[in-house]
Chains A and B, each alone.
Chain A
């Protein structure tokens, strides 16, 4: 069984300018800070980021925003990081806001091979602008389309060398969703163990989805 564990020096070269990158995390909790640092060091530009928010109180993807590596952000909330709003108002950063449940489900749908889904969330608000509205059994729904990415960056509490993952408490959030919806899945794990160590019924993301693993950098 070959190990998917790589050196930190191999992380930066996985990324290219203009890529679409999905990230796990909620206000930075569950965002792989070491991988974000490697992305900053790789001098990337024109990234599209997809994830819940732009970080803070824990930094999350905030360094990528602050260093102006990002062309477009899809998120549900940007209020905790004033720099995001500043760049948006100045026209330097395109921001598409999605209701959080809609964003999570769009990522899940992309990863699950679905062409979209119908949600009542956003009906009668500015979220419905430009979207197809359908009535099912007397209730209006919006057609929301799937999202996919070139790379997903994931934070796990524990990974085995094959890539089976376990997340801790509320750090799970968007991580298992983004791991399903990208071509390359890079995981930063606090602990890396041998295959068989994690009981099969405790695996939260199966190894088949994961392409690369790095040991978490001590913050």
Chain B
């Protein structure tokens, strides 16, 4: 199972029946593939609708997801303008958002929108999402391509928001985060807490109830 599959499969277990969910671009968009049969959730798209579904039939040129790709709508979907869309997002009407991350730190700060001098695409809706959604999950590979930790004592890149991350899911581990800091609650099959510690720069405690990730891909 590759890293993306492990991450998406484990994040899917955080979703509950009836949730309104906003999924960031990339790995988070794979999450619906791993939901239990019959579970009903509503996907919100920042560009102005609730009830996003997979593309079925001919694409409509006026219906795209937040990544600009053609998508579909579920029965019961609704569309609205961008100010209303972000009223839903900032107003706490989105239960959960799942986004990628460049860095996360032990105080729950997230950096995922720019690398000075290299990548300045703009924050799009990310700052509003992590500020307003009731729960924020960062779904990302545990280390950079160079093998450096992405879970840090303190983010070095420009922040997306402060004190916003509730859960971190990587291909190695699941962390919960609260005011006290980070707690390692699960490790992937074959991964020990010590192995996670080697690849994590942040301070964290190991839950006395540490579990092995249950993956059903």
| Contact indicator B162/A52 (Cβ below 8 Å) | no
With the chains together, A213 CA to B154 CA distance in Å?
53
Contacts of A125 in B (CB 8 A): 127, 158-162
Mask, B69-82, CB within 8 Å of A = 1, is: 00001000001111
| Contact indicator B63/A99 (Cβ below 8 Å) | no
Q: Which of A8-16, A42-50, A164-172, A195-203 contacts B (4 or more CB under 8 A)?
A: A164-172
- A123 lies within 8 A of chain B by Cβ: yes
Question: Which of A76, A80, A97, A126 contacts B125 (CB under 8 A)?
Answer: A76
Interface size, A (range): 35 or more
Task: Kindly provide the distance from the CB of A26 to the nearest chain B CB, expressed in whole angstroms.
Answer: 4
- A27 lies within 8 A of chain B by Cβ: yes
| Contact indicator B131/A121 (Cβ below 8 Å) | yes
Give A157's nearest chain B residue, CB to CB: B62
- B122 lies within 8 A of chain A by Cβ: yes
Contacts of B162 in A (CB 8 A): 123-125
| Contact indicator A77/B122 (Cβ below 8 Å) | yes
Interface residue count on the B side (C-beta < 8 Å) = 40
| Contact indicator A173/B158 (Cβ below 8 Å) | no
Within 8 A of B (CB), among A40-71: 52-53, 56-58
Contacts of A56 in B (CB 8 A): 68
Mask, B12-46, CB within 8 Å of A = 1, is: 00000000000000000000000000000000011
Which of B61, B127, B162 counts the most A-chain CB atoms under 10 A from its CB? B127
11 more CB-based (< 8 A) A-B contacts, given A57-B68, A169-B60: A26-B48, A52-B82, A77-B121, A97-B120, A100-B124, A101-B89, A121-B128, A157-B62, A169-B63, A172-B48, A172-B79
Measured CB to CB, the residues of A under 8 A from B are 26-30, 52-53, 56-58, 75-80, 85, 88, 97, 99-102, 104-105, 107-108, 119-127, 157, 168-177, 204
